[in-house]
Amino acid sequence: MQLLKLESQHFYTSQAASPAYSQVCSDDEYADIDWDSIGFGLTPTDYMYVTKTSQQDDGFTEGQLKQYGNIELSPSAGVLNYGQGLFEGMKAIRREDGQIVLFRPDENALRMKVGAERMCMPSPTTTQFIDAVKQTTLANKRWIPPPGKGSLYMRPMLLGTGPILGLGPAPEYMFLVYASPVRNYFKEGSAPLSLYVEQEFDRASRGGTGGIKTISNYGPALRPLVKAKSKGFSDVLYLDSVDGKYVEEVSSCNIFMVKGNTISTPPIKGTILPGVTRKSIIEIARDLGYNVEERPVPVEELLEADEVFGTGTAVGVAPVGCITHNSRRVEYRTGDNSVSKRLLSTYMAIQNGLLEDKKGWIVELS
């Protein structure tokens, strides 16, 4: 397998820094795919970033870009036997002027660090994390969709790869980043979502791992998700595991409700993932003059809201058209005059350089 080791400071500033970069990522070249038909599925790209460490090492070594492909794991790897793994999700966007940008990658790096501490894993530094994402993005530049056609979804992963039989932290770890061009997460596209309130299964419990992005959170969510989709719903909305009456989050995103000029969302207290998009939308909403509350939201109150929407890296800001709870179906305001539409427009304008980035959220790749 071909390996390509790149010095970060040269890789960003000159297309001539690497023959592979020049071959794969020329400015006027796009991958030969139909950009209008991509959804949120895996499209293998050219390169992935890989670095490793062990319990004896002092952090992760300098990583390498290698051709995208399978990785080799022991059958007794910690990630396979005990679910010792984390992942992140973020996007690289191509603006109209050709500039490639990332959105708040430092927040993803911090969330991985917090998750790694909970899972007894070493984590890359913020600098290493962002550097790896930048290298992977630029090495796969031809896979970044044209402006308005989607984004390059970046998937950083932290895996316990070392072999271990008894329950304990793995002796070795791998940090890797791969990428895939994507567009809309839901098959509905930008159409309003239909959510089903799940009452049989819980997503997370107090003292558990609901507040970190561990791989072990997602497998158990498949059964209720498949059940909901078989009934025609877009996704599942979970309630708290203690009382079963407070809204927590959707399988794929955080949840917000609007009543008058007030926007409410459940607080981050260990069972809800601290979404980067969630955090950003809260700041944007306050800047636009909305009263934003982070507080427990009873499901009965949600059913009386004017508007409901979800936020997440994959979904962006997704309007909810209806929610079904105990056979009761409630519809919500959507469309051009909705709060979620205004928030999404502002959020995307910042990402696309149409509004000034006053908060330092945008990282440009030259």
**Catalytic pick among 66, 91, 113, 213:** 213
Alpha helices in the chain (DSSP H): 8-13, 19-24, 78-82, 105-118, 126-139, 222-230, 276-287, 299-302, 339-351
Residue 270, exposed/middle/buried by CB under 10 A (0-12, 13-18, 19+)? middle
- CB atoms under 10 Å from CB of 76, counted, come to 13
CB 133 within 8 A of CB 36: no
202 Cα distance to chain centroid: 21
Half-sphere exposure (Cβ direction) of 340: Cα atoms closer than 13 Å: 30
Whether residue 213 lies in the annotated active site: yes
* Cβ neighbour number for residue 304 with a 10 Å cutoff: 10
Backbone angles phi, psi at 143, to 5 degrees: -95, -5
Kindly list the catalytic residues. Answer: 213
